[in-house]
Amino acid sequence: MPIHPTAIVDDSCEISADAQIGPYCIIGPHTRIGAGSRLDSHITIQGWTTIGERCHFYSHCSVGTDPQDLKYKGETTRLQIGNDNVFREFVSLNRGTRGGHGVTVIGNNNFLMAYSHVAHDCTVGDYVIMANAATLAGHVLVGDHATVGAFSAVHQFCRVGPHSFIGGFSVITRDALPYIKTVGARNEAKIYGINTIGLQRKGFSEQSITELKQFYRICFRSNLNTGDALAKTGERQWTAPEISILVQFMESSERGFIR
């Protein structure tokens, strides 16, 4: 049976005919659930949530709940989830706030392991992995193919760049650079080279990886300050498109980045 008889579903919900709602789930108002999505048991969706197709929520997830923000006064905000995502046990996902942009967004093909948390107004891209108990504070932006290690925390308003790797038990209080490994505790987090294995697994060319390593050495291992390092890298013709993405990320950082 697509909707288990013990589930409680608000009349305003729009649920695809082939979505599965398991035992003791509670689905609040104005929730949309797409084709092929599956909710196991004891999952709560507070409401104002859109879930795409073929998403799988394991038991005891808490979805579309009020933002944990003292400024929140009950206004209508949303949670938007794309397709083909996996949310393991006890994952928690908050809606946005009026002071943010009103919506928390999670893209496609993401894997959020047990007890991970996405706070209000975050934007999570595609193919992101959040390991057990990884935590995003409010307004965090996570780029495509990023990995946030177990028990790591990302400070509010920080960015995690595409294809970056954050090691377990790290505390991220500034931006984590794209294509680069970042590991460490508060005020001690550091970068540890290009995420070579991750990039190879994703099919990056050897030329791109080689140029990223060369750029890394100039920018972060030459004892130049950021401005001088970027000026020096600007003198060279790079063929890898990833270099321009990394430079733009560095130049647009508002909180500064870990190096």
Report the catalytic residues.
120-121, 138
3 state DSSP class of 199: helix
Tell me the C-alpha distance between 252 and 68, whole Å.
Answer: 28
Strand arrangement, sheet containing 56-57? 20-21, 38-39, 56-57, 86-87, 111-112, 129-130, 147-148, 165-166, 180-183, 190-194
Tell me the C-alpha distance between 180 and 256, whole Å.
Answer: 15
Tell me the C-alpha distance between 100 and 85, whole Å.
Answer: 24
Q: Which two tokens stand for residue 42?
A: 């004891």
